[in-house]
């Protein structure tokens, strides 16, 4: 088990390195940052000085090395948008708002998506199942940014107690968290529904019933745990997709989190902040995948006992 | 964003036996009770119609079927409501935006943008992904390990942030958005094809070809590729919807198709500030996205059931 | 092995009368079990033999009222377990019977154990559910005893194992231990050895035989293999298209099969010394259970069929002690 976690951690670090490389190359290869950052009437000398200050005069591998070295120290350079602060500092300021919103959305996903998926499988073919399937299809197909605008128009504006933007009391969380959650709810609903159907049709469920286990425990003990293993492999993907959704939703609701920050920074050409955010988000994703892998091992004795390895 | 794979069977090659067991159980049940087998549902005509009339035909015939200019509007007619609302007129069936451009015309041209982006990214993604997936699944060993790791890495890319990085560096453009989406698209195809190839490789006829001394590329093209073709079609269909969602989201936040081009995402963004006085500007393009993506998902699900009963998710 | 037909004075533990189970599928109603009557006596091993699709498994599931939902429905008849009609019980009462009074071994041990729980956990659940042990120590004691009774070596250690750490034969023993842990009076074994290696098969059948001798449990052994019947059963019932076409003591059936289907099955049995290439099989396909002919379901494949066979279903004719056959040919030669 320890070895398993170690292997996956090493893989995660490698992945973050690779992502940093991709971010770096995208940033450098798509154009010279100075073309857009430097004022048009800048003198040649000033430009050269700026180039040196940002290390743009060095070779690309060298630039990458110092980029990584600085990133490891949490130093992404000064923000262009707020010159008195560092990129890392701005992100740290904005992070709590995003985390709170993300936690509320995750809570919605887990408490709505999973039970609905189970219900839908157990009551297969019932009206509840049909409604759940419709919800899943909708959540999977609806563009979050549009849903957010429509909800502001149809709900927030007419019902005065729900704010249309910004962070405030608990009511300001309702719409953004719901819009972020809708895709996750749809995803978990579908994943758990099909996994539960597969499991409920299995021989060991038949045997549990033969032993005289009540239907409640057949579902909650014998079906749910093995059925959770399959969907778990997708949680990483669902999380990535929800992070994307969260960025868009923060922008629509002007939520003072890191997603909105990325938008502001990109529009202001605040390159260090955007770059730092991309790397930070990638790290979050990698850590989340690692957590999924560990949970996976916990749920599946074959992985836990080392008979199989994730590779 | 690109995320169709979530809904088309098992994900990264799962280390549990749950997928094997699942198949085994289903087969066991069929062996026991052959009459419990299910058949494919009926052809989903409504989604097909929506895809044809809302995506394919408008994209192909945009300049033939519209009378207004998608980019230049009549300022005098700005913020005209849809025809059936007081103050509207049939000159602009779905109304106009704040620059007096016809919403319907822009939606029709927007279909062209969506379809172009989707075709390009899926063509690139599918060819790169299929090649790498075939190699990884068939040769195994270090090739497989490297490709699998690349798949995991590229699926961990936060593409909105990457898009914003590029926007911060060089600004939005058509090429930017195609690159950004294609960069992750290949990984979905590679993952699917790799898994399928692993399964086909173990099959008897591939073993026979190997014994007969066929070259690897010949086996891959003649035996493996035709067997993964069905799942490729299903995945490609589902990914069209995913690309449309990705493209419109990126365009919405200003990291995709640049203004004034009528991408559906840009159009929703255009109406965002006026949703209280001119809701039609945002409503209709968003509805177009929803309907098209919904239909693509329904069609993809049906294709999966129709082409490959093994992959059927019971509904 | 010695087939002793029980005396008439012993009451059967299981008495099935005219059981009818239909499956409502998309293509029509399948008469999976179509009026089956049979009796099982204590300490007896009754074989039920038939091709796949003959309704054997559906019969077994009907006895414990676990037909597939929502397609399967038990429409009529009685299942009397020690005189109590199981079909009249509430779902809750039925749950108390399952595993306690009547239990079952499924076909494929690879799939009958839950992969995410240890063997001990699954075994203890069976014991705890029916209040067979008051304390955890007692549960453990009983679990070990159950594994010992199916000859699992080092049972204490095995309890901590997960199913994937065991061989197929070992898993099937565990399934057997779960089935007899609460000392039920009836055990249904649905093709328990089909998924096992040939060498393990004989061992497992011997084990079942020993268990019933030790405990006087009544065992219904479902199989498609007459060889298995010959080795372990006292009596046998031959099933075809949802009905029992012939039943009787194993020796009678082997020496004097009266139904042409029984005869065909016996001939199709591989025997030592015969070349595999000439293994005869029964011509034709088993009928679809959706539109059965009005007469004998075997008539279309029967060499001896005549007009009456196609028009009227033959009643069950008594041939000897406990030996009955549902064939018009059996009527003519008493």
Distance from CA of B274 to the nearest CA of A (A): 10
Distance from CA of B28 to the nearest CA of C (A): 9
Residue C316 has pLDDT above 90, yes or no: no
C132 vs A193, more confident: A193
Give the residue among C76, C32, C46 at the shortest CA–CA distance from C218.
C46
Q: What is the largest CA-CA distance in chain C?
A: 67
Residue C274 has pLDDT above 80, yes or no: no
Residues A56-93 pLDDT 10s = 777 778 878 887 888 887 777 777 667 778 888 888 99
| Predicted local confidence at residue B1, as pLDDT | 35
Residues A291-304 pLDDT 10s = 888 888 888 887 77
Q: Which residues of A102-114 are buried (b: 16+ CB within 10 A; e: fewer)?
A: bebbbebbeebbb
B14 vs C254, more confident: C254
Residue C53 touches chain B, beta carbons under 8 Å: yes
Residue C3 has pLDDT above 70, yes or no: no
pLDDT band at A275 (very low <50, low <70, confident <90, very high): confident
The C-alpha angle with vertex C151 and arms to C146 and C152, in degrees rounded to 5, equals: 80
Residue A51 touches chain B, beta carbons under 8 Å: no
| Predicted local confidence at residue B309, as pLDDT | 54
| Predicted local confidence at residue B28, as pLDDT | 36
Residue C326 has pLDDT above 60, yes or no: yes
Tell me which chain A residue has its CA closest to the CA of residue B245.
A143
pLDDT band at B41 (very low <50, low <70, confident <90, very high): low
Mean pLDDT check: name the lowest of B8-12, C7-11, C108-112: B8-12
Tell me which chain C residue has its CA closest to the CA of residue A296.
C116
| Predicted local confidence at residue A39, as pLDDT | 63
Residue A207 touches chain C, beta carbons under 8 Å: yes
Residue for token pair 């790799």: B194
| Predicted local confidence at residue C76, as pLDDT | 87
Residues B250-265 pLDDT 10s = 999 988 898 888 999 9
Residues A194-212 pLDDT 10s = 999 999 989 999 999 998 8
Which of A11, A262, A309 faces B149 most closely, judged by CB atoms? Answer: A11
Would you call A59 helix, strand, or coil by DSSP? coil
Residue B149 touches chain A, beta carbons under 8 Å: yes
| Predicted local confidence at residue B25, as pLDDT | 36
What is the DSSP-derived secondary structure letter of residue C286? Answer: P
Tell me which chain C residue has its CA closest to the CA of residue A204.
C112
Residues C128-173 pLDDT 10s = 888 888 788 999 999 999 999 888 888 889 999 999 889 888 999 9
Q: Three-state SS string across A63-74, please?
A: HHHHHHHHHHCC
Residue C305 has pLDDT above 90, yes or no: no
Token readout for B51 is 């895809």
Give the residue among B244, B246, B250, B251 at the shortest CA–CA distance from B267.
B251
Residue C28 has pLDDT above 60, yes or no: yes
Q: What percent of chain C has pLDDT over 70?
A: 92
Residue B143 touches chain A, beta carbons under 8 Å: no
| Predicted local confidence at residue A31, as pLDDT | 60
Which of B253, B290, B294 faces A251 most closely, judged by CB atoms? Answer: B253
Strand partners, C28: C25
Average pLDDT over residues B283-304: 93
B-chain CB neighbours of C25 within 8 Å are 35-36
Chain C from 269 to 328: CB within 8 A of any B CB:
288-290
Residue B281 touches chain A, beta carbons under 8 Å: no
Is B32's CB within 8 Å of C52's CB?
Answer: yes
Q: Which residues lie closer than 8 Å to A41 by C-beta, 6 or more apart?
A: none
Give the residue among A284, A303, A288, A282 at the shortest CA–CA distance from A26.
A282
Residue A212 touches chain C, beta carbons under 8 Å: yes
Q: How far is CA A222 from the centre of its chain?
A: 31
Mean pLDDT check: name the lowest of B117-131, C4-18, C256-270: C4-18
Q: Phi and psi of B236, rounded to 5°?
A: -60, -45
Average pLDDT over residues C117-121: 92
Mean pLDDT check: name the lowest of A210-219, B84-93, B130-139, C90-99: B84-93
pLDDT band at B244 (very low <50, low <70, confident <90, very high): very high
* Average pLDDT along chain A: 85
Residue A123 has pLDDT above 50, yes or no: yes
C48 vs B202, more confident: C48
DSSP codes joined into one string, C7-33: PTTSPPSEEEEEEEEEEEETTEEEEEE
C-chain CB neighbours of B28 within 8 Å are 107-108, 111
Token readout for A246 is 């969260």
Alpha-carbon gap, residue B114 to B62, rounded angstroms: 13
Residue A38 touches chain C, beta carbons under 8 Å: no
Torsion of CA B140, B143, B148, B149, to 10 degrees: 140
Rounded to two decimals, the pTM is: 0.84
The C-alpha angle with vertex B250 and arms to B249 and B256, in degrees rounded to 5, equals: 140
* Average pLDDT along chain B: 80
Residues B190-223 pLDDT 10s = 999 998 888 887 776 677 777 777 777 777 787 7
C-chain CB neighbours of A300 within 8 Å are 115-116
| Predicted local confidence at residue B38, as pLDDT | 43
Is B28's CB within 8 Å of C108's CB?
Answer: yes
Mean pLDDT check: name the lowest of A16-30, A170-184, C247-261: A16-30
Is A210's CB within 8 Å of C95's CB?
Answer: no
Residue A298 touches chain C, beta carbons under 8 Å: no
Is B21's CB within 8 Å of A202's CB?
Answer: yes
Torsion of CA A78, A83, A88, A92, to 10 degrees: 180
Give the residue among A10, C65, C66, C239 at the shortest CA–CA distance from B149.
A10
| Predicted local confidence at residue B40, as pLDDT | 44
Residue B314 has pLDDT above 50, yes or no: no
Residue C66 touches chain B, beta carbons under 8 Å: no
Interface with chain B: mutation pick from A80, A140, A283, highest number of B CBs within 10 Å: A140
Instruction: Count residue pairs from A and C with Cβ separation < 8 A.
Output: 74
| Predicted local confidence at residue A103, as pLDDT | 93
Distance from CA of B17 to the nearest CA of A (A): 9
**C neighbour chains, 3+ CB pairs within 8 Å:** A, B
Average pLDDT over residues B28-51: 60
Residues A6-60 pLDDT 10s = 888 888 888 888 888 887 777 666 566 666 666 666 777 877 777 777 667 777 7
Residue B9 has pLDDT above 80, yes or no: no
User: Would you call the peptide bond into C70 cis, given omega within 30 degrees of 0 as the criterion?
Assistant: yes
C313 vs B247, more confident: B247
Tell me the Ramachandran region of residue B29: left when phi exceeds 0, alpha when psi lies from -120 to 50, beta otherwise: alpha
Which of A210, A214, A222 faces C66 most closely, judged by CB atoms? Answer: A210
Token readout for C45 is 């091993």
Q: What percent of chain B has pLDDT over 90?
A: 34
Residues C164-211 pLDDT 10s = 889 888 999 999 999 988 889 999 999 888 888 888 888 899 899 999
| Predicted local confidence at residue A121, as pLDDT | 93
pLDDT band at B125 (very low <50, low <70, confident <90, very high): very high
Task: Count the Cβ atoms, other than its own, within 10 Å of residue C165.
Answer: 16
Strand partners, C84: C81
Tell me which chain C residue has its CA closest to the CA of residue B29.
C68
pLDDT band at A183 (very low <50, low <70, confident <90, very high): very high
Tell me which chain C residue has its CA closest to the CA of residue B18.
C115
B14 vs C156, more confident: C156
**B neighbour chains, 3+ CB pairs within 8 Å:** A, C
pLDDT band at B158 (very low <50, low <70, confident <90, very high): confident
Is C25's CB within 8 Å of B35's CB?
Answer: yes
Task: Count the Cβ atoms, other than its own, within 10 Å of residue B22.
Answer: 22
Residue B254 touches chain A, beta carbons under 8 Å: yes
Alpha-carbon gap, residue C170 to C158, rounded angstroms: 10
Residues A145-169 pLDDT 10s = 999 999 999 988 888 878 888 887 8
Strand partners, C320: C323
Alpha-carbon gap, residue A133 to C160, rounded angstroms: 40
End-to-end CA distance of chain A: 14
Residue A232 touches chain C, beta carbons under 8 Å: no
Is C25's CB within 8 Å of B18's CB?
Answer: no
Distance from CA of C37 to the nearest CA of B (A): 22
Residue B247 has pLDDT above 90, yes or no: yes
Distance from CA of A167 to the nearest CA of B (A): 19
Residue B156 touches chain A, beta carbons under 8 Å: yes
Residues C103-114 pLDDT 10s = 999 888 888 999
| Predicted local confidence at residue A261, as pLDDT | 92
Residue C6 has pLDDT above 70, yes or no: no
Residue C58 has pLDDT above 80, yes or no: yes
Which of B17, B36, B39 faces C68 most closely, judged by CB atoms? Answer: B36
| Predicted local confidence at residue C273, as pLDDT | 52
Is B32's CB within 8 Å of C111's CB?
Answer: no
Is A285's CB within 8 Å of B166's CB?
Answer: no
Is B313's CB within 8 Å of A278's CB?
Answer: no
């Amino acid at each position: 088990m320890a070895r398993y976690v170690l292997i996956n951690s090493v893989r995660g670090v490698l992945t973050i390195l690779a992502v940093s490389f991709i971010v770096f190359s995208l940033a450098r290869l798509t154009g010279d940052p100075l073309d857009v950052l430097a004022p048009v009437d800048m003198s040649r000398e000033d430009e050269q000085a700026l180039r040196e200050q940002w290390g743009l005069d060095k070779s690309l591998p060298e630039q990458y090395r110092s980029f990584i070295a600085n990133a490891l120290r949490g130093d992404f350079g000064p923000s262009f948008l707020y010159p008195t602060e560092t990129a890392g500092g701005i992100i740290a300021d904005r992070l709590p708002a995003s985390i709170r919103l993300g936690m509320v959305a995750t809570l919605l996903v887990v408490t709505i998506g999973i039970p609905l998926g189970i219900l839908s499988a157990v009551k297969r073919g019932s009206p509840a199942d049909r409604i759940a399937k419709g919800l899943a299809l909708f959540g999977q197909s609806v563009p979050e940014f549009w849903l957010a605008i429509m909800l502001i128009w149809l709900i927030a504006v007419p019902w005065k107690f729900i704010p249309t933007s910004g962070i405030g009391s608990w009511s300001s969380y309702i719409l953004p968290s719901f819009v972020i959650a809708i895709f996750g709810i749809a995803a978990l609903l579908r994943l758990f529904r099909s996994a539960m159907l597969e499991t409920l049709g299995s021989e060991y469920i038949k045997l549990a019933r033969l032993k005289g286990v009540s239907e409640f425990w057949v579902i909650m003990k014998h079906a749910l745990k093995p059925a959770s293993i399959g969907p778990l492999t997708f949680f990483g993907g669902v999380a990535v997709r929800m992070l994307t959704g969260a960025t868009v939703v923060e922008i629509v609701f002007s939520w003072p989190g890191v997603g909105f920050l990325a938008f502001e920074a990109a529009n202001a050409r605040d390159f260090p902040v955007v770059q730092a955010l991309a790397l930070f988000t990638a790290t979050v994703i990698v850590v989340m995948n690692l957590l999924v892998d560990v949970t996976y091992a916990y749920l599946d004795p074959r992985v836990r006992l080392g008979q199989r390895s994730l590779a | 964003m690109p995320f169709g794979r979530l809904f088309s069977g098992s994900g990264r090659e799962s280390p549990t036996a749950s997928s094997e067991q699942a198949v085994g159980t289903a087969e066991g049940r069929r062996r026991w009770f052959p009459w419990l087998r299910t058949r494919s549902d009926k052809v989903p005509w409504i989604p097909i119609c929506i895809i044809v009339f809302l995506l394919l035909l408008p994209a192909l015939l945009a300049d033939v079927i519209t009378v207004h200019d998608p980019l230049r509007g009549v300022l005098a007619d700005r913020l005209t409501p849809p025809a059936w609302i007081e103050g509207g007129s049939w000159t602009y069936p779905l109304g106009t935006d704040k620059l007096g451009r016809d919403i319907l015309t822009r939606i029709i041209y927007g279909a062209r943008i969506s379809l172009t982006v989707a075709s390009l990214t899926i063509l690139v993604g599918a060819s790169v992904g299929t090649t790498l997936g075939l190699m990884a699944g068939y040769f195994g060993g270090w090739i497989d390990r490297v490709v699998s790791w690349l798949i995991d890495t590229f699926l961990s890319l936060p593409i909105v942030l990457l898009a914003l990085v590029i926007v911060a560096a060089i600004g939005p453009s058509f090429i930017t958005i195609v690159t950004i989406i294609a960069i992750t698209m290949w990984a979905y195809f590679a993952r699917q094809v790799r898994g399928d190839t692993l399964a086909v490789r173990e099959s008897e006829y591939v073993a026979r070809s190997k014994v007969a001394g066929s070259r690897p590329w010949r086996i891959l093209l003649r035996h493996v590729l035709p067997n993964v073709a069905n799942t490729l079609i299903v995945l490609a269909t589902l990914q069209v919807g995913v690309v449309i969602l990705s493209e419109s989201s990126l365009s919405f936040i200003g990291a995709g198709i640049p203004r004034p081009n009528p991408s559906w995402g840009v159009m929703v963004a255009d109406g965002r500030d006026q949703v209280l006085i001119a809701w039609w500007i945002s409503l209709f393009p968003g509805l177009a996205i929803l309907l098209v993506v919904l239909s693509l998902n329904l069609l993809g699900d049906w294709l999966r059931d129709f082409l490959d009963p093994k992959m059927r998710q019971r509904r | 092995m010695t087939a002793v037909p029980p005396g008439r004075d012993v009451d059967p533990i299981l008495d099935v009368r005219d059981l009818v189970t239909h499956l409502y599928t998309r293509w029509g109603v399948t008469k999976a079990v179509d009026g089956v009557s049979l009796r099982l006596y204590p300490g007896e091993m009754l074989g039920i033999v038939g091709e796949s699709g003959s309704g054997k498994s559906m019969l077994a599931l009907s006895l414990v009222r676990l037909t597939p939902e929502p397609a399967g429905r038990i429409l009529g008849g009685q299942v009397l377990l020690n005189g109590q009609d199981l079909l009249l019980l509430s779902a809750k009462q039925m749950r108390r019977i399952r595993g306690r009074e009547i239990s079952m071994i499924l076909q494929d041990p690879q799939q009958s154990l839950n992969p995410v729980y240890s063997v001990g956990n699954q075994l203890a659940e069976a014991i705890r559910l029916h209040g067979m042990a008051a304390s955890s120590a007692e549960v453990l004691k009983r679990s070990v005893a159950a594994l010992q009774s199916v000859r699992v070596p080092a049972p204490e250690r095995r309890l901590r194992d997960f199913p994937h750490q065991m061989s197929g034969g070992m898993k099937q023993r565990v399934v057997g231990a779960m089935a007899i842990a609460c000392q039920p009076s009836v055990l249904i074994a649905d093709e328990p050895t089909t998924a096992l290696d040939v060498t393990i098969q004989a061992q497992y059948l011997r084990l079942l035989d020993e268990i019933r001798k030790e405990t006087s449990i009544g065992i219904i052994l479902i199989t498609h293999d007459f060889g298995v019947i010959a080795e372990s059963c006292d009596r046998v019932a031959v099933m075809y298209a949802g009905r029992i076409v012939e039943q009787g003591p194993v020796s009678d059936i082997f020496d004097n099969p009266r139904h042409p289907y029984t005869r065909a099955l016996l001939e199709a049995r591989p025997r030592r010394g015969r070349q595999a290439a000439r293994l005869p099989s029964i011509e034709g396909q088993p009928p679809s259970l959706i539109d059965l002919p009005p007469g004998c379901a075997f008539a279309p494949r029967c060499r001896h069929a005549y007009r009456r066979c196609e028009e009227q279903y033959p009643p069950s004719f008594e041939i000897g002690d406990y030996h009955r056959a549902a064939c018009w040919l059996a009527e003519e030669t008493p």
